Amino acid sequence: MTTASYGDDVSPVSDVRGLRHGAGARLATALAFTSIRPIVGFGGTALLISYAGLSAWQALVALLVVLLLVAVVFGALASRWPIEGGVHGWARQLTGARGGFFTGWLYLCSYVLFMASLAYFDVQRIFFLFGLEPPTVLIASICTAAVLLLATVANTLTRAWIKVIALIAVAASLIGCIGYSVALIAGHSSRGFGDILSSGGSDAGGAWLSGPFLVALAWASAFAFRGFEIPSDISEEMDDAPRVVPRAMLTGLIVGGVLTIIAGISIALVVPAAPEVSDELASNPYAASVGVTVDVAMGSGAAKFLALLLVIATFAAIAVCQLAASRTIWTMARDRELPGSSWLVQLSPRRRLPRNAIIVAGVIGVILPFLIFEIKTAYVLQGASATPLLIAFLIPLVGLLRSRIRSSWESGPFGLGRWMTPVAVIAALALLGLALNALWPREQLYGSGRGLWGPSAITVVIVILGLGVMAWAYRDGGVHVRHHGHVERDLNERVRLGHAGTCVSCHRDLAAGDEAFWNPEAHVVICVACEEVVVE
């Protein structure tokens, strides 16, 4: 097969085939649930308590309400455009190519930062699990890199490995959340529900809401409910994606969110005074949830088992976050928006996996831990991952509202009807508020000195680098990306390629699981069998 040429600088990538299908509703929901990892409610809420008192778990409730609104709107977008890369592809259609690029860039950077910070905290749990002293920063960084390499290997093997890892993580989270929540609430509560429903300590309600609650909300935005949208990142690998993806996002977020809050409430009923938790955090960030609470309440055996469940759930979340980052790299490479696109867009011959994109996401993640010079730096990395993600969520919502105003929006199988606009407006305003709140410099979260401005500085660097790469990708008026047949502005071509169609050569109807690719010369779908005959 030959391809058209536009010169060395703009020659199109040849032979871009579709990803292999076969993922179903169970895997999609498991991915959302795994990335949310509700068992983190035990550790995360103890940390929130150290910032904002026993009522800090209410920040989780507020965040869940906002993200449910976002998830409902995202369900409508995923239903209309069931394409790989999720928010990147939606923003491209709603705001234009450059808006799509910037959304994908922010989304990608957020998940790379997040998976590195997750791995760092998982290492702390591993050391606690084996009864070791908290590691030095260098040892922790080396171990973190090893965890990220292991996740990369799992992602590059087969999709079956990710499915197994996700299902094990789901079981670990369910056992941990339900079992420990019931045990803690029923047998070890040291206070009543009235104590954790009151405002924060001695502060008046308004002072708590404008101070400690916002601190708790900022940190909750960084670690809680992340990844509910990840099923949309593999839409082209999924059967019946227009219906499966919206259900998976909402089911994962609702179930995972409720379990996270229940775990948080159980810790709030048991956890010792906030100053005790803060003292333990100074030596080991994991000790806040286990070393002080579960260990004291239920014994070291129960604490170690919870640590094991958390290690399993967090490792699975790292692998799923890397999956999301790699699919975004692959879709941006398919749009010729990244350097080395012809290499990044390649799929493994048998499994049809974007291994090159997975490797790049893993390599970047491995480098990041060595930028950590103290425990607080890990908090800075995780905090810095929040604002780019929230802005990436915001961009397609703004594009959707513009489309609604212009009356150009068409719903897919899943829609909200006349409620779409008000829900999108509320979700967009809430996301903007969350992004600004997460970016605000706070000594409680990030320490003093340079760390105080760490998330802001990292966000600025991400934006500047993104603008630089975008200027390169859209040089000469965008001819670099425009003269590439399979990325025309009309996504109907890509949806046909990803989910259905008829082979132009043998005229066979292609089922959702069949492999095919888009011919950039003739603008038609050809099945792999026919393409191989043509090549021979």
3-state DSSP assignment of residue 488: coil
Residue type for 353, please? L
CA distance 93 to 166: 31
The pLDDT of residue 361: 94
The DSSP call for residue 238 is: B
The proportion of the chain whose per-residue pLDDT surpasses 70, expressed as a percent, equals 79
Closest CA to 61 of 45, 79, 85, 77: 45
**Residue 209 corresponds to which tokens in the numbers above?**
């809401």
The DSSP call for residue 508 is: P
Closest CA to 79 of 375, 469, 420, 451: 420
The pLDDT of residue 521: 54
- Residue 412: pLDDT band with limits 50, 70, 90: confident
**Residue 534 corresponds to which tokens in the numbers above?**
């043509």
Give how far Cα 107 sits from Cα of 87, 170, 389, 514, Å: 8, 24, 5, 29
Phi and psi at 519, nearest 5°, equal -80, 115
Closest CA to 364 of 166, 99, 119: 119
**Residue 190 corresponds to which tokens in the numbers above?**
């040291």
The DSSP call for residue 56 is: G
3-state DSSP assignment of residue 504: coil
Q: Are 445 and 61 in contact (CB under 8 A)?
A: no
Give how far Cα 149 sits from Cα of 110, 114, 368, Å: 19, 15, 12
Residue type for 491, please? L
The pLDDT of residue 7: 33
Tokens 């099945």 -> residue: 527
pLDDT exceeds 80 at position 459: yes
Tell me the per-residue pLDDT of 143-152, one tens digit each, with 9 for 90 and over. 999 999 999 9
- What number of other Cβ atoms are within 10 A of residue 186's Cβ? 9
Q: Would strands 509-510 and 501-502 be described as parallel, antiparallel, or unpaired?
A: antiparallel
The pLDDT of residue 327: 92
CA distance 277 to 291: 9
pLDDT: which is higher, 376 or 206: 376
CA distance 396 to 277: 40
- What number of other Cβ atoms are within 10 A of residue 153's Cβ? 13
The DSSP line for 181-231 is HHHHHHH---S-HHHHHS-STTS-HHHHHHTHHHHHHHHHHHHSSTTTTGG
3-state DSSP assignment of residue 19: coil
Q: 422-436 burial by CB neighbour count: b if 16+ within 10 A, else e?
A: ebbeebbebbeebbe
CA distance 135 to 128: 10
Q: Are 498 and 352 in contact (CB under 8 A)?
A: no
Phi and psi at 453, nearest 5°, equal -100, 10
**Residue 467 corresponds to which tokens in the numbers above?**
């603008």
> Where along the chain do the CATH 1.20.1740.10 domains lie?
25-484
Kindly state the average pLDDT of the residues 267-287: 58
* Phi-psi region at 354: left, alpha or beta (left = phi > 0; alpha = psi -120 to 50): beta
Q: Which residues touch 187 (CB under 8 Å, ≥6 apart)?
A: none
Lowest mean pLDDT segment, chosen from 9-13, 124-128, 382-386: 9-13
The DSSP line for 393-416 is HHHHHHHHHHHHHTT-----SS--
CA distance 136 to 82: 45
Q: Which residues touch 40 (CB under 8 Å, ≥6 apart)?
A: 223, 224, 260, 263, 310, 313, 314
**Residue 91 corresponds to which tokens in the numbers above?**
């923003």
As its CATH architecture, domain 25-484 has Up-down Bundle (1.20)
First to last CA, the chain: 9
Tell me the per-residue pLDDT of 22-57, one tens digit each, with 9 for 90 and over. 667 888 899 999 999 999 888 888 788 878 888 889
Compute the Cα dihedral for 278, 284, 289, 294 and give only its sign.
negative
pLDDT exceeds 70 at position 505: no
Kindly state the average pLDDT of the residues 438-448: 85
The pLDDT of residue 473: 86
Closest CA to 382 of 314, 449, 429, 327: 314
Tell me the per-residue pLDDT of 319-364, one tens digit each, with 9 for 90 and over. 999 999 999 999 898 888 899 888 998 888 777 788 999 999 999 9
Residue count (the chain)? 536
Lowest mean pLDDT segment, chosen from 92-96, 365-369, 484-488: 484-488
**Residue 415 corresponds to which tokens in the numbers above?**
């829609």
Q: 199-227 burial by CB neighbour count: b if 16+ within 10 A, else e?
A: bbeebeeeebbeebbbbbbbbbbbbbbbb
The pLDDT of residue 484: 46
Phi and psi at 300, nearest 5°, equal -70, -30
CA distance 181 to 179: 6
Q: Are 333 and 344 in contact (CB under 8 A)?
A: yes
